[in-house]
Structure 1
């Protein structure tokens, strides 16, 4: 199961409230592939497709395609604020450790 941390859930609920759309789900999607493995993205979505998997964590509805669930069945979505900025962070313990071709993934 994917966990939405309390901090991320609070930020998401605030965002949904500001948008006036509390019924939206958080969609997890494949945003690309890098030397460290599959990169995931997040988007607010009001549509659940027939082949989607849905779950809930900390009051946030999550949606993803079934093929994503196979490679990202456990992990977390967090919200971070540091000297580099703020935003949502996806952690996937199943992600690969890098291919070694770019020299920057250690």
Structure 2
């Protein structure tokens, strides 16, 4: 299902500790469509609905998503990039179509 890279896991654990939110999960969601295809979003949350949410764990982190989005996120990989264009978390999803990334740019369209 959802995979977290080692680099993203380390950065996310650091962020959770820095913000004193070790009890929170990373929520990932489908945010809409753009010129490049599906766009994704992420947030830190500590409220999980057993009725509406699916929780997966990878590398000691809780990842939560709405059950309705689970099929569209089934091949998602959460990574952390740090380069000339900036740094941050991205969602790469071979199941999502488009440029397979949470951000548009770099000639993906």
Cα contact 1:72–1:92 (8 A) shared by 2: yes
Q: Please report the TM-score for the alignment, with normalisation by the length of structure 1.
A: 0.88
Larger relative helix fraction: 1
> How far, CA to CA, are the matches of 1:105 and 1:16 in structure 2?
31
**Equivalent residues, number:** 101
**Residue of structure 1 in register with 2:72 after alignment:** 71
CA RMSD of aligned residues (A): 1.5
Higher gyration radius (CA) = 1
> How far, CA to CA, are the matches of 1:61 and 1:48 in structure 2?
11
**Residue of structure 2 in register with 1:28 after alignment:** 28
> How far, CA to CA, are the matches of 1:59 and 1:89 in structure 2?
19
> How far, CA to CA, are the matches of 1:34 and 1:76 in structure 2?
19
Shift of 1:21: 1.6
**Residue of structure 2 in register with 1:48 after alignment:** 48
Q: Please report the TM-score for the alignment, with normalisation by the length of structure 2.
A: 0.85
Runs of 4+ off more than 4 Å = none
> How far, CA to CA, are the matches of 2:54 and 2:84 in structure 1?
35
